[in-house]
Amino acid sequence: MCRHLAYLGPAVTLASLVQEPSHSLFEQSWSPRDMRGGGSVNADGFGLGWYVDGNSVRYRRNVPIWTDDNFPELAGSIRSGAVIAAVRNGTDGMPHTESSVSPFKVGNWLFSHNGRLPGYPESTVKLAEQLPVAELLKLDAPVDSALLFALVSNRLRDGITPADAVASVVREVESVAPGSRLNLLLTDGEQIVATSWTHSLRVRQTADSVTVSSEPFGSADWDEVPDRSLLVATATTLQITPMEGRE
């Protein structure tokens, strides 16, 4: 399963989040500590998303993060107050293309998925039927993560709040594909919405920043997000609520 993180706060380099700390996302790509549901390495691509003057920017590759010679210089030179990043462990039978790698993007929304959907794509046909045909044709790639983001994006366009959009998609997917692993990350550069659903998730908060990550990194203290929880945060606020029973 993949590893991912999101950060909001004072502008920092991408390297200070993704590469430099002990057990950083860079290290988690080949030495994760809490991979549930199979897999021991995240070598099927990586992606970074950040914001410049309020506009989202994305860099994705379909190679292991440690093989990209451009990555260290890139990550050390870019600063942002809103970052999302992921390393991918692709599911067997799904394409290993650059377009299959998180973060996925629509407008200023950036999205990552850590997990899998049992029986995909057959198990999610009824959910896919909710989407306009044009949206299905525009999917980045025929992978479960891209479909999840399309479902979330469709709700956002309908005016549903980000928290309710993410929570409703998780509940509906679990109903048609029981046993799904659905750790989702969504940000627009101002807020983070995340779920912990049968996968590890940690959060670190300071007076002016919040970081959400599949696994803790660096020397700071992290709090575990309980399973089946919804996290909503800005740089200065944090709310974690149980998802079961949330309507």
pLDDT at residue number 48 = 98
Under a CB-based contact definition with an 8 Å cutoff, are residues 189 and 82 in contact? yes
Q: What is the pTM of this model?
A: 0.95
Helix (H) or strand (E) holding 229, with range, is: strand 229-233
- Residue of 206, 209, 233 whose CA lies nearest to 221: 206
Q: What is the pLDDT along the chain (247 residues), one digit of tens a residue?
A: 589 999 999 999 999 999 999 999 999 999 888 766 666 788 889 999 999 999 999 999 999 999 999 999 999 999 999 999 999 987 766 778 999 999 999 999 999 999 999 999 999 999 999 999 999 998 989 999 999 999 999 999 999 999 999 999 999 999 999 999 999 999 999 999 999 999 899 999 999 999 999 999 998 799 999 999 999 999 999 999 999 754 5
Under a CB-based contact definition with an 8 Å cutoff, are residues 109 and 186 in contact? yes
pLDDT at residue number 36 = 67
CA 17 to chain centre: 15
- Cα three-residue angle 169-228-141, rounded to 5 degrees: 40
Please tell me the distance from the alpha carbon of residue 243 to that of residue 233, in angstroms, as a whole number.
16
Catalytic residue annotation: 2
> pLDDT per residue over 221-233, tens digit each?
999 999 999 999 9
Residue 93 contacts by C-beta under 8 Å, 6 or more apart in sequence?
none
pLDDT at residue number 244 = 76
